[in-house]
Each structure stands twice: as structure tokens, then as C-alpha cells.
Amino acid sequence: MSGALRRIGERPAAFLAPAALVLGVVTLFPIVYVLWLSVQHYSLIGDAPAFAGVGNFARLFADARFWNALGNTVYFTLVSVALEVVIGLAFALLLARPFVGRAPMRAVVLLPWAIPTVVAARMWEWMYNGDFGVINYLAGADTNWLGNPYWAIHAAIAMDVWKATPFVALLLLAGRLSIPAELYQAARLDGAGAWRLFRHITWPLLRPLLLIVLIFRTIDAFRVFDAIYVLTGGGPANTTETLSIYAYKVLFQTLEFGYGSALAVAVFVCIAAITAAYVWLLRGSAR
């Protein structure tokens, strides 16, 4: 038995094969199937499936609703990720400093991230309610946060920032604590102030980690679905409809599997392009 195990140990592929098989079944097969559907005219309430070629993608480029969803997705991603990085970095720098109650404060900051997204979105939906919501009560206003085309997307951004900022702060805090204290001590002896410490020590050493954080958060924000779906369902008048929500509606409400799969492929291509850009920046910063 020991000899058989030794022979298997000499072949790492034998250990990786089960995991690779499961990964292929649950990941690779759906991807290939979606790619196949994206070039088909396939609807459960229409005619029989037929090969469409690039017809679904041509329809995509001519679809005003697709471009509206893409614009909403890009705007949501840019604003939310920018706010999360700025606020998360500020929290990380504050939590890295010694003060009384620092350990419990780190735990409190992580609470929003620990709450499931659907639960958090429902909670914020009640807070935004125009009749009994706490936000209107505290502000002394009568704003229809989720029913106004301008405020709805920003209300969703505020909820996402509240939910995801602790994740950013946690990673950046770990990076900040990994910087040797001797560097700051030596810089202070040379007369460096807080701004120079941040500019010449903290920022350069945190930048590679910051790019990794940006990769995670940008991908997550670009494919946002549950938060906005619970808050607004893509309304009012599709002003908060993202690409993921639009693809969901086409796939599971109109049952156009072909065109819905083309939308899913478009989301995948956008995320792949964003990831490639960040990886290129990360390699550049590592040189």
C-alpha cells in the first residue's frame, strides 16, 4: 500500500485530477454551453433553435437598452470602487495607529462586510423608504430615494460602498501592518512629517496590494446583481439596470436564451478586459 501511495505521490496530476474534473464540470462546461447558446437563435417561447452566427452580437450593438445598461454598470463601478478605495485606505491608516479600543474597533468596522448582501440591501431599502425610512427622518426630507431616476443609482452606490469598504480596509490594513516600523522611525529621525511618510513609504509599498484590491472590487462591482436587484429591480425606467440584471431579465423573464447568453458573454469580455488592464498595471508597478 505504501508503495502504491509513493508512486501516486510521484505523479501530482493524480491528486489534481479529481479537482480538475469537478472544476471542469461546474465551470468549463457552463462556459462552453453559454458560448454555444450565444450564437444560436434559442427561445423557449419562439421558433425552434437555429444557428445565428454573429446575429445576437450584431443585435447587441444595436440595442439601446444594452448601451444604457453598460453605461449604468460603468458609472456604478467607477464611483463605488473609487469611494471604497479612498474610504477604505483612510480606515486602514487610522486602524493601523495605536489607540485605546483598537481591536474591538477593527471588529466593528468589519460588520457590514459580514452581513449577506441581500440582507444588507433589504435593510437599506427600508432605510430609503419615503414614508417610514430613517434617512428621510434624520434628514428632515421627503425624498423618494429609490423612485427618483437620479437618486436611485446613487442610493445603490451608497449601499455598495457601505457594504464593501470594510473588505478594502481589511486588505489595506494587512498591507500597512506588514511595512516595517523601522522605515517610519528612520524617516521621522530625518524630519519627515505625516505627508512625507505616506507619500514616500506607505503609498509606494501599498500600491501593488492596492492594485490587487482594485481587481477584486472592480470585478465584483461590474457584475453587481443582488444589491441593485433587491433595491430597485433595475428601475425606475431602467436607470439602475446593470448588464447582469439585463442579462437575467432576458434569460429568465423573456426566455431568450440565445440573446441572453450573448449578453452574458459581453459581461465576461468586459471583465476579462478590465482584469487584463489591471494585471498589466500590476506588472508595471512590480518592475
Length of the chain: 287
CATH number of domain containing 216: 1.10.3720.10
pLDDT band, very low/low/confident/very high, at 2 (cuts 50, 70, 90): low
139 compared with 172, residue with greater pLDDT? 172
List the beta bridge partners of residue 43. 256
Identify whether residues 32 and 69 lie together within a single domain: no
Distances (CA, A) of 195 to 147, 191, 200, 204, 272: 43, 11, 9, 13, 36
Check residue 6 and give its pLDDT. 60
Check residue 63 and give its pLDDT. 87
Does pLDDT of 36 surpass 60?
Answer: yes
Q: Where are the alpha helices (DSSP H) in the chain?
A: 2-9, 12-23, 29-37, 55-61, 64-95, 102-109, 111-114, 117-128, 134-139, 149-177, 181-189, 194-197, 203-222, 226-231, 243-252, 257-286
Identify whether residues 32 and 159 lie together within a single domain: no
Number of domains observed in the structure of the chain:
2
Mean pLDDT of the chain: 85
Identify whether residues 167 and 238 lie together within a single domain: yes
Does pLDDT of 12 surpass 80?
Answer: no
Residue 53 lies in a domain: no
Specify the range with the lowest mean pLDDT, choosing from 51-55, 99-103, 143-147, 237-241. Answer: 99-103
Identify whether residues 70 and 192 lie together within a single domain: yes
Identify whether residues 84 and 156 lie together within a single domain: yes
**Mean per-residue pLDDT, 17-31:** 83
Cβ count near 26 (within 10 Å): 9
Residue 182 has which C-alpha cell? 523601522
Identify whether residues 187 and 229 lie together within a single domain: yes
Does pLDDT of 5 surpass 80?
Answer: no
Residue 96 has which C-alpha cell? 493601523
What percentage of the chain has pLDDT greater than the value 90?
17
Residue 43 lies in a domain: no
Identify whether residues 9 and 121 lie together within a single domain: no
Alpha carbon 22 to its chain centroid, in Å, reads: 25
What percentage of the chain has pLDDT greater than the value 70?
94
**Mean per-residue pLDDT, 61-85:** 92
Identify whether residues 83 and 208 lie together within a single domain: yes
Does pLDDT of 213 surpass 70?
Answer: yes
pLDDT band, very low/low/confident/very high, at 286 (cuts 50, 70, 90): low
Does pLDDT of 42 surpass 70?
Answer: yes
pLDDT band, very low/low/confident/very high, at 74 (cuts 50, 70, 90): very high
Residue 276 lies in a domain: yes
Identify whether residues 169 and 100 lie together within a single domain: yes
Residue 173 lies in a domain: yes
How many CA atoms are closer than 13 Å to the CA of 78, on its beta-carbon side?
6
DSSP letter at 235 equals -
Identify whether residues 33 and 115 lie together within a single domain: no
Residue 253 lies in a domain: yes
Residue 25: give the domain boundaries. Answer: 2-37
**Mean per-residue pLDDT, 143-156:** 87
Does pLDDT of 181 surpass 60?
Answer: yes
Does pLDDT of 18 surpass 60?
Answer: yes
Specify the range with the lowest mean pLDDT, choosing from 79-83, 166-170, 188-192. Answer: 188-192
Residue 187 lies in a domain: yes
**Mean per-residue pLDDT, 219-231:** 89
Does pLDDT of 87 surpass 90?
Answer: yes
Residue 52 lies in a domain: no
pTM for the whole structure: 0.85
- The span from the CA of 242 to the CA of 269, in Å, is 15
Cβ count near 201 (within 10 Å): 17
Residues 105, 95: contact at Cβ < 8 Å? yes
Identify whether residues 222 and 259 lie together within a single domain: yes
Does pLDDT of 3 surpass 60?
Answer: no
Identify whether residues 6 and 125 lie together within a single domain: no
Residue 69 lies in a domain: yes
